Amino acid sequence: MKTSIAQLLVSAVLSVLIVAAGLALYDRTVIRPALVIGMVDVAEVYRAKEAEFTQILTKTTLEEDRQKALLMARTFAQRLPMALEELPRDCGCLVVLKSAIAGPTPHTLDLTPLLRRKVDAP
């Protein structure tokens, strides 16, 4: 009789530990990542690149520099959509525009610097 109670107690403790480990794993891999929201200020990145492009065009009279500026604008236009597509994979989170966020939370990440690096990368 004592061995069956001991076996039941060991089985119960083992079951509780397995369930607790499963819940902890579920929390770490499913619940917490779903709470993270990445925000990105696309308008800020666009305005900065537009200002850079305009500055190059207005300060030069050389055709070579103008062509370089146009190439820079074309490259930016090609990289921006690709960079925006990569952001959710990079952070493992939902990515929204900064203007869609009413207020930052502890679970909100600002991905604007990452976007800026992605579109400026050579």
Report how far residue 72's alpha carbon sits from residue 53's, in angstroms, rounded to the nearest whole number. 8
Residue labelled with tokens 């990105």: 40
Q: What is the C-alpha separation between 81 and 77, in angstroms, rounded?
A: 7
Q: Please write the tens of the pLDDT for every residue from 72-115.
A: 889 999 999 999 999 999 888 889 999 888 877 888 889 999 99
Is the pLDDT reported for residue 2 higher than 80?
no
Q: Which of 86, 88, 84, 102 is nearest to 33 (CA)?
A: 88
Cβ-contact 56, 65 below 8 angstroms: yes
